[in-house]
Amino acid sequence: MGFGIEPIIAISVICGLIVLLFPLLVRKGPNRGTYQVALVISGFCIGLLWATTYMHQMNPLFGPILHNTTILLMQKEWAGMYPNGIQEAGHEAVAAATH
């Protein structure tokens, strides 16, 4: 997974709606300020959680840890799927094999 601007724009719009628009829609009452603060904090926390998760997936520190039985099963199930090896298979080959 690499950097893409589309997910950042989409999540920014969603979090922006929560932070800017939703507090204006709260009905008048004795707890209006509390609800507005809760919505602003929630929107900020959602954006922060998503941003950190997205950045961690862009450049992971380590890959998946596979056991020997899993590797053997993958070799058995994927036999002949990549005649030139998985490293040489392009994105189109991987997409065609999974669909």
Which pLDDT tens digit goes with each residue over 19-40? 998 899 999 999 999 999 999 9
Residues 97 and 81 in one domain: yes
Q: pTM, whole model, 2 decimals?
A: 0.56
Q: Long-range CB contacts (< 8 A, 24+ apart) of 6-13?
A: 7/54, 8/54, 11/47, 11/50, 11/51, 11/54, 12/47
Residues 42 and 69 in one domain: no
Residues 29 and 6 in one domain: yes
Residues 46 and 69 in one domain: no
Residues 79 and 47 in one domain: no
Task: Report residue 1 as tokens.
Answer: 């997974």
**For 47-94, how does the pLDDT look when each residue is reduced to its tens digit (9 = 90+)?**
999 888 888 887 777 777 888 888 888 888 887 776 665 555 455 555
* Number of domains, the chain: 2
Domain span at 73? 64-99
Residues 38 and 82 in one domain: no
Residues 56 and 79 in one domain: no
